[in-house]
Amino acid sequence: MWIYEKKLEFPVRIKNPNPQMAKLVVTQYGGPDGELAASLRYLSQRYSMPIPEAKALLTDIGTEELAHFEMVGSMVYQLMKGASKEEIKAAGAADYFVDHDRGVYPASAAGNPFTAAYIQSKGDPIADLHEDLAAEQKARATYDYLLKMADDPDVKEPLKFLRQREVVHFQRFGEILMKVQEYLDSKKYF
Amino acid sequence: MIDGYSYNQSGISRGTSYSTSSFISPYPANSRLARAYFIFQRYTKSFPPAEALDKGTMFPDLYSPWPTENREGI
Amino acid sequence: MNNNERAQLLDNIRAIEFMAVELNLYLDTHPDDQKALREYNSFTKQLMALKDEYQRRYGPLSNFGTACSQYPWAWINDPWPWELD
């Protein structure tokens, strides 16, 4: 079960609206390598994990990704908030605006709505963990690209935090892969 | 067993060629083909809390500041 | 001012909770690391005390029975995390 805590894991305090940046950042909200994809992936895969450490890790990282999902949503919200109609049009964000106003909607930067096709839950722990390793790298790379596109330090700080978290998660998935492999090896020689 | 791999953990720098006799493998003794291996982190040092939050990790070993000079990987 | 103190306390909670999250993930893959476990428990106790103090003054930080509320029901109060944190 999930309990919600009324605070962000890392603060998001964006003082200047930027609809163009909002359209890009939203890709980590509802895009292929974003935080929603990550949480659903890990929280769905955890059911098939064979050892307690893996069930715990997938649950915990999946939960942390929900906290990141919240951070990115807050970024999109603050980047759109207070932006005028003209600023939105000039930023090329009018198409987002007509469907969502200044609201937050899970889609990619290209405007594709979120889909479970972005994730897999193969039920095979080895396959699933390799997918998770790839997912963390893709997310880290996406943050690299977003950081290149951003100028505002208020935007860069949370993006840098989120990027570093992917690096840590990657290491944890690698470690749990070792443990799962060791367990599966030991079962073979029964 | 997992935590104490009996192999040499020293990194191998890129672009150096080795003669097979002096090559020290970073992989565990009974490693196999068609599988991935990861080194376990060993926790020794930590950043203090406020700095850890700011950097995105408490572990200096895992800290990877942006911008990165090397485009590939972390 | 009151708001500054509140922000300070919340930032403190954020930092300590982050240590707990990091150690939690580390312990999931290193369940036998005694030093990490000691630190996790220590940060957890510290976090509980900080949250108690925050919640006493500013209302509940979490819902569904994990924290008590003043009257009237303070859980609903602004600001919400995406507005000002």
Side-chain-facing half-sphere of A74: CA atoms under 13 Å: 27
C66 in contact with A, Cβ within 8 Å = yes
A163 in contact with B, Cβ within 8 Å = yes
Query: Is there a contact between A144 and B66 if contact means CB atoms under 8 Å apart?
Result: yes
Q: What domains, with CATH codes, occur in chain A?
A: 19-112+121-188 (1.20.1260.10)
Say if residues A161 and A63 touch (Cβ distance below 8 Å): no
Residue B64 lies in a domain: yes
- In which domain, by residue range, is C20 found? 2-76
Residues of C in contact with B43 (CB under 8 A): 26, 30, 33, 35-36
pTM to 2 decimal places: 0.90
Residue C81 lies in a domain: no
Q: Kindly provide the ipTM of the predicted complex, given to two decimals.
A: 0.95
Residue A113: what are its φ and ψ, rounded to 5°?
-65, 155
> What percent of chain B stands above pLDDT 90?
46
Residues of C in contact with B1 (CB under 8 A): none
pLDDT of B7 strictly over 70? no
Compute the CA torsion angle A5, C1, A15, A96 (nearest 10 deg): 40
Residue B4 lies in a domain: no
> What percent of chain B stands above pLDDT 70?
57
pLDDT tens digits, C2-60? 689 999 999 999 999 999 999 999 999 999 999 999 999 999 999 999 999 999 999 99
pLDDT of B25 strictly over 80? no
- Sorting pLDDT into bands at 50, 70 and 90, what band is B27? confident
pLDDT of B26 strictly over 90? no
Residue B48 lies in a domain: yes
- In which domain, by residue range, is B48 found? 41-69
Number of structural domains chain C divides into: 1
A54 in contact with B, Cβ within 8 Å = no
Residue C38 lies in a domain: yes
Residue B58 lies in a domain: yes
DSSP letter, residue A113: B
Query: Rounded mean pLDDT of A128-152?
Result: 98
How many residues are recorded in chain B? 74
The CA-atom distances, in angstroms, between A93 and each of A20, A30, A96, A102, A152 are: 6, 16, 5, 10, 18
Q: Please state which of the ranges A37-46, A56-65, B59-68, C71-80 shows the lowest mean pLDDT.
A: B59-68
Residue C48 lies in a domain: yes
Which pLDDT does position A188 carry in this prediction? 78
Residue C82 lies in a domain: no
Average pLDDT, chain A: 97
Which pLDDT does position A189 carry in this prediction? 61
